[in-house]
Amino acid sequence: MGTPCLNWPKQAANKLYRLQTPTTPLFRPVHHDNVRLDDFAMGTNAIVAVISYTGYDMEDAMIINKCAYERGFAYGSIYKSKFIELDGASFFARSPHLPDLNKILDNDGLPHAGTKLWHGCPFYCYFDVDTSTYKVVKLDEKEDCVVDSVRYCGNFKANARRMVCVTLRIPRPPTIGDKFASRAGQKGICSQRYPAEDLPFSETGLIPDIVFNPHGFPSRMTIAMMIETMAGKSAALHGLVHDATPFRFSEKHTAIDYFGRLLEAGGYNYYGTERLYSGVDGREMSADIFFGVVHYQRLRHMVFDKWQVRSTGPVDAITQQPIKGRKRGGGVRFGEMERDALISHGAAFLLQDRLFHNSDKTHTLVCSKCGSILAPLKKIIMRSETGKLQSMPDTCRLCGDGTAVGYIEIPFSFKYLVSELSSVNINARLKLMNI
Ligand SMILES: [Zn+2]
């Protein structure tokens, strides 16, 4: 997220991700200024403490200071433009018969800029000339949003009041599950908006905006992020912006030494570390904590667009297994690797639960004599010509009699496989025990 364009009132892009209060990085290469990247700011300067704290920063998780969040840290919005075109001679107009519409729609049947909308609320109203009725169209957005602008489009004389562009603004404050990254490519998911009073604090009372786990450094070797931590800190300290252009430092004149000396001159530790105090009990921590300013970006992958749940729902017509797809209410695939994981743990009942009971379990006939699941026919009760109820017993079309016909529970996909095999002249026989 960032500043994709500067013509907010005029743009009509399908979807834009905007950062509300971006700041300029304190450590950047010359190209940043050459291409005037400050005009399209893309991130926020965060106070970062490199510490393993609580466990909510394990692996690639990241703790965000709740106070920083409340101050608007990394607040973003999505701008969506919708083009509405009416057929024939129909035109936008608010229905006079529905007084409730007045709260949301203007006389022209459209919401005015600034109106708050929600899922299923009236979005616009028009007069359908063909049926001579007013029609109200509901908003299909899943989230609450605000109307940013409403514009009539096209040739005004020819298409007057028939084509409109409505831009909606969807607020997206940072939430648990949203993605962030430093410019070194250290991406992480917000795992908690941690109360500031419980976070560690420095001797000057500074509380980090972001808690970054130190285990992210050794394997990824993002030395640039460590240099940035020190450079950012010294830049903030001395009111400077540091040059991050490659090859400006050498083995004799190292970046670490340069920024270390600047930090020292400002009264800080040469290595960029600080004494921190536990936010929980106030005790001084025995380890020195690497603490500084890093330019963080908010990435466009947000939980709201990705979350997926299913209890029961639609199934595939052929396999009778749950369908896939987030939009269609499908399930999350429990694939081969997941299956192997459960096998390796000996979790047989969980495996059966996932792959059978909660999937394509079917109750079907089987003949234990010939082992076929396709040949047996169900017992049916029918009315004879004389009007009497007549019962037809279970029969097996292979054996001729139905004495050995019973029921079994199998995955439907197995039955489907047997049917497909029969179509190429392969007969599948089951060996059944204790039927
Ligand atoms: Zn049979």
Tell me the CA–centroid distance for residue 409 and ligand 1, in Å. Answer: 17
Both 53 and 148 in one domain: the answer is: no
Tell me the CA–centroid distance for residue 219 and ligand 1, in Å. Answer: 62
Q: What is the mean pLDDT of the chain?
A: 92
Both 133 and 260 in one domain: the answer is: no
Contacts of 204 (CB under 8 A, 6+ apart): none
Residue 341: which CATH number? 3.90.1800.10
Between helix 255-265 and helix 223-238 the angle, nearest 10°, is: 30
Tell me the CA–centroid distance for residue 245 and ligand 1, in Å. Answer: 80
Spatial separation of the C-alpha atoms in residues 225 and 219, rounded to whole Å: 13
pLDDT tens digit sequence for 100-137 = 888 899 998 999 999 999 999 999 999 998 999 999 99
Residue 276: which CATH number? 2.40.270.10
pLDDT score for 133: 92
pLDDT score for 158: 64
Tell me the CA–centroid distance for residue 31 and ligand 1, in Å. Answer: 79
Contacts of 416 (CB under 8 A, 6+ apart): 318, 319
Domain membership flag for residue 206: yes
pLDDT score for 395: 86
Number of domains in the chain: 3
pLDDT score for 156: 65
How would DSSP label each residue in 43-106? EEEEEEEE---TTTTSTTEEEEEHHHHHTTTT-EEEEEEEEEE--TT-EE---TT-GGGGGTB-
How would DSSP label each residue in 159-218? HTTTEEEEEEEEEE---TT-EEEETTS-EEEEEEEE-GGGS-EETT----SEEE-TTHHH
pLDDT score for 388: 77
Band (340; pLDDT cuts 50, 70, 90): very high
Tell me the CA–centroid distance for residue 431 and ligand 1, in Å. Answer: 12
Domain membership flag for residue 318: yes
Spatial separation of the C-alpha atoms in residues 32 and 27, rounded to whole Å: 10
Residue 132: which CATH number? 2.40.50.150
Both 247 and 340 in one domain: the answer is: no
Both 314 and 417 in one domain: the answer is: yes
Tell me the CA–centroid distance for residue 381 and ligand 1, in Å. Answer: 21
Tokens of 57: 């920063």
pLDDT score for 424: 97
Tell me the CA–centroid distance for residue 282 and ligand 1, in Å. Answer: 78
pLDDT tens digit sequence for 393-412 = 788 888 888 888 889 999 99
pLDDT tens digit sequence for 184-242 = 999 999 999 999 999 999 999 999 999 999 999 999 999 999 999 999 999 999 999 99
Band (258; pLDDT cuts 50, 70, 90): very high
Radius of gyration of the chain (CA): 33
Domain's final residue, options 298, 322, 338: 298
Tell me the CA–centroid distance for residue 388 and ligand 1, in Å. Answer: 29
Range of the domain at 229: 43-71+175-298
Both 207 and 58 in one domain: the answer is: yes
Domain membership flag for residue 11: no
Tell me the CA–centroid distance for residue 416 and ligand 1, in Å. Answer: 19
pLDDT tens digit sequence for 17-63 = 999 999 999 999 999 999 999 999 999 999 999 999 999 999 999 99
The answer to whether 187 touches 215, Cβ cutoff 8 Å, is no
Tell me the CA–centroid distance for residue 421 and ligand 1, in Å. Answer: 17
Both 160 and 200 in one domain: the answer is: no
E-state strands within 248-334: 273-277, 284-298
Collapsed DSSP state (helix, strand, coil) of residue 263 = helix
The answer to whether 234 touches 259, Cβ cutoff 8 Å, is yes
Tell me the CA–centroid distance for residue 46 and ligand 1, in Å. Answer: 73
- Count other C-beta atoms under 10 Å from residue 76's C-beta: 21
pLDDT score for 91: 87
Both 65 and 183 in one domain: the answer is: yes
Domain's final residue, options 298, 328, 347: 298
Domain membership flag for residue 404: yes
Spatial separation of the C-alpha atoms in residues 19 and 75, rounded to whole Å: 6
**C-alpha torsion 142→114→20→5, nearest 10:** 90
H-run or E-run covering 260: helix 255-265
Tell me the CA–centroid distance for residue 435 and ligand 1, in Å. Answer: 13
Tell me the CA–centroid distance for residue 213 and ligand 1, in Å. Answer: 65
Partners of 78 in the beta sheet? 17, 170
Tell me the CA–centroid distance for residue 360 and ligand 1, in Å. Answer: 24
Domain membership flag for residue 1: no
Tell me the CA–centroid distance for residue 316 and ligand 1, in Å. Answer: 30
Residue 435 has pLDDT above 60, yes or no: no
Tell me the CA–centroid distance for residue 411 and ligand 1, in Å. Answer: 20
In a 10 Å sphere around its CB, with 0-12 CB exposed, 13-18 middle and 19+ buried, how is residue 184 labelled?
A: buried
Tell me the CA–centroid distance for residue 321 and ligand 1, in Å. Answer: 28
pLDDT score for 354: 92
How many helices (DSSP H) and strands (DSSP E) are in the chain? Answer: 10, 24
Tell me the CA–centroid distance for residue 377 and ligand 1, in Å. Answer: 10
Tell me the CA–centroid distance for residue 404 and ligand 1, in Å. Answer: 7
pLDDT tens digit sequence for 132-179 = 999 999 999 999 999 999 998 877 666 566 789 999 999 999 999 999
Residue 385 has pLDDT above 80, yes or no: no
- Count other C-beta atoms under 10 Å from residue 9's C-beta: 9
The answer to whether 135 touches 91, Cβ cutoff 8 Å, is no
pLDDT tens digit sequence for 408-431 = 999 999 999 999 999 999 999 999
pTM over 0.75: yes
Tell me the CA–centroid distance for residue 418 and ligand 1, in Å. Answer: 15
Tell me the CA–centroid distance for residue 425 and ligand 1, in Å. Answer: 17
Both 62 and 179 in one domain: the answer is: yes
Both 203 and 276 in one domain: the answer is: yes
H-run or E-run covering 230: helix 223-238
Contacts of 38 (CB under 8 A, 6+ apart): 24, 32
pLDDT score for 352: 94
pLDDT score for 160: 64
Band (389; pLDDT cuts 50, 70, 90): confident
Band (434; pLDDT cuts 50, 70, 90): low
Tell me the CA–centroid distance for residue 374 and ligand 1, in Å. Answer: 9
Tell me the CA–centroid distance for residue 368 and ligand 1, in Å. Answer: 7
Tell me the CA–centroid distance for residue 395 and ligand 1, in Å. Answer: 8
Domain's final residue, options 243, 265, 298: 298
Domain membership flag for residue 130: yes
Both 317 and 376 in one domain: the answer is: yes
Both 191 and 288 in one domain: the answer is: yes
The answer to whether 27 touches 228, Cβ cutoff 8 Å, is yes
Sign, Cα dihedral of 264, 292, 227, 219: positive
Residue type, 328: R
Domain membership flag for residue 428: no
Tell me the CA–centroid distance for residue 427 and ligand 1, in Å. Answer: 12
Both 65 and 186 in one domain: the answer is: yes
Spatial separation of the C-alpha atoms in residues 51 and 214, rounded to whole Å: 6
- Smallest CA-to-CA distance from 173 within 71, 74, 78 is with 74
Most confident of 15-24, 82-91, 373-382: 15-24
Q: In the block, which residue shows the tokens 């250290």?
A: 186
Cα–chain center distance at 379: 51
Q: In the block, which residue shows the tokens 């040059």?
A: 243
Tell me the CA–centroid distance for residue 422 and ligand 1, in Å. Answer: 15
- Phi then psi for residue 77, to 5 deg, are -140, 155
Tell me the CA–centroid distance for residue 358 and ligand 1, in Å. Answer: 30
pLDDT tens digit sequence for 276-321 = 999 999 999 999 999 999 999 999 999 998 898 998 899 999 999 9
Domain membership flag for residue 258: yes
